[in-house]
Amino acid sequence: MTYIKILVVLICAAAVYGEYLYNKPHQSAATQTADRFVAADALYHQYEKNEHVADSMYTGKIIEVKGVLASVDLTGEADILELSPQATGGGISCQMFAHDKSTAPVYPAIGSIVIIKGKCTGFLMDVNLVDCGIEKPPTP
pLDDT digits (tens, 9 = 90+) for 45-67: 999 999 999 999 999 999 999 99
Gap between the Cα atoms of 37 and 64, Å rounded:
5
pLDDT at 123: 92
pLDDT greater than 50 at residue 138: no
Q: Just give the CATH number of 29-136.
A: 2.40.50.140
pLDDT at 66: 93
Q: What percent of the chain has pLDDT over 90?
A: 41
What 8-state DSSP symbol labels residue 33?
A: P
Provide the pLDDT confidence category of residue 28 given band limits of 50, 70 and 90. Answer: confident
pLDDT digits (tens, 9 = 90+) for 66-114: 999 999 888 777 889 999 877 667 889 999 877 655 566 788 889 989 9
Provide the pLDDT confidence category of residue 10 given band limits of 50, 70 and 90. Answer: confident
pLDDT greater than 60 at residue 14: yes
Gap between the Cα atoms of 113 and 116, Å rounded:
10
DSSP string spanning 66-101? Answer: EEEEEEEE-SSSS-EEEE---TTS--EEEEEPP--T
* 3-class secondary-structure state, position 55: helix
Residue with the larger pLDDT of the pair 55 and 12? 55
